């Protein structure tokens, strides 16, 4: 009984950080319908009713912050055709090797695999023109739509590969925070979360750079080699306690919350809530579900059974419609 009452007290004391209404987070914009991270994709996600729109951030040669999921360009642009001689010895084309003006000459297309095949074959197949967007362009677009429509759609930037950028002589976190402060967005009360896979960088943001903005610690798998972080530790109660000292929530991979083959849930959401953390898992894709489960079952498990506080999705409209019922 004492442990039960203690649990209730902990949940009550942390209720201010547990979101009452689940958040719909547009993963790379409306990426289920249009090329990811483009301004058109942002506008569509906004129109579909996203609460927050994600921006993955990397740095250009001239220190501009652009919205791009990877530090490489060839999977989502025609850089190989426009600048065939600009690849590094590893055969990859890095955003950091191009100025913003050069990047603006590229056309953004649907994500392709190493063989040049579209990763999600039933998504956008048109021949429209899409450009790489800067972080500030996306901020301006969302803020202007908010002003005109009297809405508060928020920002959800991710600082990509900070350790790699630092190896290249670039402090991406400092550059990102300069943009946020320019637009008065380094504010815990504003509709913005900043996320990062690198726990050391999340700690640096809070403790050394003294950011005020809400922080989310992303949780991957150690074999992804996403960062030097030990994600197995972060998923433990002690790891979650360490996160709670500096951040407002976690962004786990959906299979870390539930085994989609056996339908057995883990204790991660419950443990995170006990630590006072919000849980915003990634990524719901209705066109990439296991054969044994449909979209309604998936959303029921996430929102009703696990009670996550938000969800990253390529299909904002699907999740908005589900939550409205």
Whose tokens are 């901020």? That residue is: 139
The partner residues of 133 in beta bridges, in order of sequence, read 67
- Annotated active-site residue 273? The verdict is no
- Annotated active-site residue 72? The verdict is no
Residues 54 and 157 sit within 8 Å (Cβ to Cβ):
yes
* Residues 135, 204: Cα–Cα separation, whole Å: 21
Tell which residue, 229, 168, 224, 169, has the closest CA to residue 197: 229
Residue of 37, 69, 109, 280 marked active site: 69
Q: Residue 14 to residues 55, 192, 244, 279, 324: CA-CA distances in angstroms?
A: 28, 19, 11, 13, 26
Contacts of 250 (CB under 8 A, 6+ apart): 216, 217, 218, 219, 234, 240, 243, 272, 277, 278, 279, 280
Residue of 27, 72, 273, 280 marked active site: 27
Contacts of 269 (CB under 8 A, 6+ apart): 257, 279, 306, 307, 308
Cite the beta strand spans of the chain per DSSP E. 23-26, 52-59, 65-67, 133-134, 154-159, 193-196, 214-219, 249-252, 258-259, 264-265, 278-279, 310-313
Tell which residue, 174, 175, 172, has the closest CA to residue 162: 172
Cis peptide before 289, with omega less than 30 degrees from 0?
no
- Say how many C-beta atoms besides its own lie within 10 A of residue 311's C-beta: 26
- Say how many C-beta atoms besides its own lie within 10 A of residue 166's C-beta: 13
State the distance between the two ends of the chain, measured CA to CA, in whole angstroms: 36
Active-site residues: which are they? 27, 69
């Amino acid at each position: 009984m004492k442990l039960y009452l203690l649990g209730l007290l902990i949940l009550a004391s942390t209720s201010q950080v547990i979101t009452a209404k689940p958040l719909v987070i547009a993963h790379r914009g409306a990426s289920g319908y249009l090329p990811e991270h483009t301004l058109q994709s942002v506008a569509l996600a906004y129109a579909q009713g996203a609460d927050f729109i994600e921006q993955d951030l990397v740095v250009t040669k001239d220190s501009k912050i652009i919205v791009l999921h990877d530090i490489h360009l060839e999977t989502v642009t025609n850089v190989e055709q426009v600048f065939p001689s600009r690849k590094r010895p590893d055969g990859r084309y890095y955003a950091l090797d191009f100025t913003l003006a050069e990047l603006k000459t590229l056309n953004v297309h649907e994500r392709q695999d190493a063989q040049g095949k579209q990763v999600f074959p039933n998504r956008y197949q048109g021949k429209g023109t899409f450009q790489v967007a800067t972080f500030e362009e996306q901020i301006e677009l969302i803020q202007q739509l908010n002003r005109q429509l009297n809405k508060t759609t928020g920002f959800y930037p991710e600082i990509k590969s900070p350790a790699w950028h630092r190896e290249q002589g670039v402090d991406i976190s400092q550059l990102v925070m300069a943009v946020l402060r320019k637009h008065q967005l380094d504010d815990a009360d504003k509709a913005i979360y900043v996320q990062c896979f690198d726990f050391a960088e999340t700690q640096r943001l809070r403790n050394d750079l003294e950011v005020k903005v809400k922080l989310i610690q992303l949780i991957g798998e150690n074999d992804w080699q996403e960062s030097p972080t030990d994600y197995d530790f972060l998923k433990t109660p002690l790891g979650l306690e360490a996160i709670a000292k500096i951040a407002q929530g976690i962004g786990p991979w959906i299979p870390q919350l539930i085994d989609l083959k056996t339908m057995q849930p883990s204790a991660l959401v419950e443990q995170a809530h006990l630590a006072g953390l919000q849980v915003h898992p990634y990524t719901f894709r209705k066109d990439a579900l296991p054969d044994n489960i449909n979209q309604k079952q998936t959303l029921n498990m996430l929102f009703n059974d696990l009670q996550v506080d938000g969800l990253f999705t390529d299909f904002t409209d699907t999740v908005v419609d589900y939550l409205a019922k």
